């Protein structure tokens, strides 16, 4: 959203700058009713409106990136996450994890035999 707002602001600031430059270069005798001056203002205004519409209706912005990220996360499966986690462990952490799992397995066996 912020990217679109910034792009819109750039379009309108540039349009305003062009209008100011046009008005300043036309000299003190220019009036708004002059055909060329009024035509240039209309063309610049329409250009800014079309530019704003293009920014808000097209182009890769945050929403597209967020959708791609969401799709990529959906493609990952639980075993992939576990595999990446285990691969990121160092040797000591692997031994600790193995001991923890073996301890839980032994507790489960004892609880089954106690019944």
More confidently predicted of 75 and 46: 46
Copy the structure tokens of residue 40. 């240039």
Whether residue 92 sits in one domain with residue 36: no
Whether residue 54 sits in one domain with residue 15: yes
Per-residue pLDDT of 65-112, as tens digits, reads: 666 666 666 666 667 777 888 888 898 888 898 999 899 888 888 887
- Residues 11 and 46 sit within 8 Å (Cβ to Cβ): no
Whether residue 92 sits in one domain with residue 37: no
What 46-51 contacts at long range (C-beta under 8 Å, 24+ apart), as own/partner pairs, is: 47/15, 48/11, 48/12, 48/14, 48/15, 51/11, 51/15
Report the candidate in 68, 53, 38 with the shortest Cα–Cα distance to residue 8. 53
What span, in angstroms and rounded, lies between the C-alpha atoms of 29 and 18? 19
In the chain, the percentage of residues whose pLDDT exceeds 90 is: 8
pLDDT on residue 3 = 81
pLDDT on residue 34 = 62
Domain containing residue 26: 2-72
What span, in angstroms and rounded, lies between the C-alpha atoms of 37 and 32? 7
Whether residue 64 sits in one domain with residue 32: yes
What is the number of structural domains in the chain? 2
């Amino acid at each position: 959203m912020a990217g679109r707002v910034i792009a819109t602001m750039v379009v309108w600031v540039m349009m305003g700058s062009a209008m100011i430059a046009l008005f300043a270069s036309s000299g003190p005798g220019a009036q708004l009713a002059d055909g060329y001056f009024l035509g240039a203002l209309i063309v610049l205004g329409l250009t800014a409106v079309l530019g704003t519409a293009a920014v808000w209706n097209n182009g890769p912005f945050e929403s597209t990136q967020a959708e791609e990220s969401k799709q990529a996360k959906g493609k990952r499966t639980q075993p992939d996450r576990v595999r990446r986690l285990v691969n990121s462990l160092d040797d000591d952490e692997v031994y600790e994890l193995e001991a923890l799992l073996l301890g839980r397995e032994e507790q489960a066996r004892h609880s089954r035999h106690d019944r």
